[in-house]
Structure 1
């Protein structure tokens, strides 16, 4: 589930708190291309208001039309399929022959929506099991590597919460932007800064702050293939401690801010003092970020997340030099 869908759940919970009727739709299957991935959510209020998206708008319009016609007055989970034929596919914004299937569920006390949101707010990853016969929901802890969604004849299992993790070394101004943007992309964010003058002023809802030394934090973090580590302090005594551990780990992305000259000096230090190999040093993204002409802290944060996204999807991209050479 991405952060857009977390917003849908929050809006749906707000509607429920107002005693409004709400139907939640989850994409359970797609054939061919589809505007949104499996697991994406849309919520429809009893007056036709929509939160979220599962298409370019045509399917949402149809849901509103069905609601007003009384077709969405359901009492238990119900599957709905769009785009079986070419004409219908075009009507609903799907490619010719594409198909999208939604599981619609009326929300109520049995949906455990408030409990789910409380767990997600704590940064937990949750497995949600929907009983298709009764509409009741069970919540359990889930691993980051768990499958996004499973549908059987009796249940729908979906996974919610951060699938990816970001560990940032340094709690400066740029970290505020990087952490907020990363959360919007579905990352669980942890910030490490033992410096009192920086850590005391850092407060971002949903992000974890630790004052421990960076090398200890990286080790305790149990870095895996779903983890990115970004060093932003400009202080070799802190950045290098994190990098010497992160570059030996399975992290899918390791980056450090600084000019090309400083990156060359950093590579030499890491090799000489910490024994990192050439292959390990080649994993370092530095200067960090893609070349988008970034100058300001939010622009540089954007360039870093752009490169992280490119690496996640195995895409290419030119390195940034001027923008991250602060």
Structure 2
């Protein structure tokens, strides 16, 4: 989940608490090019104020105008913008030529709505990952616990004509980079661009002072200490990039005790085999714990330069987060 999505739910909750009904719009699917991925949110209140986005602007303008005209008063509506076969999409044509399927929920000012949005915000802030479900056509919503990986949006038919839409909600994605090396800056920069909250930890104050990655938090601290402090939740990835066992091994030993969804350490196949043996022999890890480690780290892209290696690492993290097996690529 990206930082923008948290801002949407935070603002929606504030509007509800102020007594304003609102519309919560969710991207369900995209066909062709699209600037926003499934699961992305936009919220609009009765005064026409909005936060978040669904496209590059054309969809938002059409939606806001139609809200002013009194449209979307049903509990839920699904629109396929850019699809000439769906008259509810108006005459909007996406500049990219794609199709955007959007779930529109009209949320009334009730204690149930406030409690629902409060739970959403708490989940984005790091509590238990949940699956939000919305039933069609009634608009009834709720949550189920589910920490599994997979697509953010999926659907199923239930009880005759009814349909249920499932939306995975997890804390804002976090990347903890253990140690500063030539790979650290491009890896952190890629992660920031992808919407991750990025924390870089290294005990060397001088190295930290010289690392400049806008959007990343730099901590002069042993990565293992930071990880052990409770910094990892289920949407956290941990990568060790130094080739220094004093940093990398200790970070791995702590990371496997957390719910982090991705734990990786850089090194050749030979180095990785030696590290696995060392972590079991000296680190006290079990074979199952070592089995959680991605080593060698990253997709096998034939990467040579720091930027290419960073790309391979972040691509593998995204692959795992979306539940894609290597043989599906």
TM-score tier after normalising by the smaller chain length: 0.5 to 0.7
SS at match of 1:228: strand
CA 1:314 to 1:156, structure 2 compared with 1: closer, same or farther past 3 Å? closer
Structure 2, gaps ≥5 residues long: 10-21, 32-36, 45-51, 95-99, 144-166
SS at match of 1:27: strand
TM-score (norm 1): 0.61
Other-structure match for 2:297: 288
Q: Which moved more, 1:250-259 or 1:214-223?
A: 214-223
Deviations 1:23-78 (A, max 9, x none): x9852475xx54542443499xxxxxxx9444xx8xx65664677xx645469996
- The partner residue of 1:254 within 246, 249, 263 is 263
Deviations 1:151-203 (A, max 9, x none): 79899999999522211111334222212222233322211100133112124
Other-structure match for 2:220: 211
Alignment check: 8 A CA contact 2:130 2:170 kept: no
Query: Which structure exhibits the higher relative contact order, with contacts defined as CA atoms closer than 8 Å and separated by 6 or more residues?
Result: 2
Q: How far apart in 1 are the matches of 2:69 and 2:142? A: 17
Q: Which moved more, 1:208-217 or 1:283-292?
A: 208-217
Give yes or no for the alignment of 1:263 onto 2:244: no
Q: How far apart in 2 are the matches of 1:25 and 1:215? A: 43
Other-structure match for 2:38: 37
Structure 1, gaps ≥5 residues long: 10-23, 44-50, 105-128, 319-326
Deviations 1:102-141 (A, max 9, x none): 369xxxxxxxxxxxxxxxxxxxxxxxx9859xxx9x9896
Once the 2 structures are TM-superposed, how far is the Cα of residue 287 of structure 1 from its aligned partner? 1.2
Alignment check: 8 A CA contact 2:129 2:169 kept: no
The ranges of structure 1 where at least 4 consecutive aligned residues each deviate by more than 4 angstroms after the TM superposition are 3-9, 33-36, 60-67, 74-81, 83-86, 89-94, 129-132, 138-141, 146-162
Other-structure match for 1:314: 323
Give yes or no for the alignment of 1:142 onto 2:122: yes
**1:93-108 matched pairs, under 5 angstroms:** 100-102=102-104
Q: How far apart in 1 are the matches of 2:80 and 2:230? A: 45
Alignment check: 8 A CA contact 2:132 2:169 kept: no
Once the 2 structures are TM-superposed, how far is the Cα of residue 232 of structure 1 from its aligned partner? 0.5
Other-structure match for 1:202: 211
**1:1-326 matched pairs, under 5 angstroms:** 1-2=1-2, 26-28=24-26, 30=28, 33-35=29-31, 36-41=37-42, 52-54=53-55, 61=58, 64=61, 71=66, 73=68, 81-83=78-80, 87-88=85-86, 100-102=102-104, 131=109, 142-143=122-123, 144=126, 145=128, 147=130, 163-317=172-326
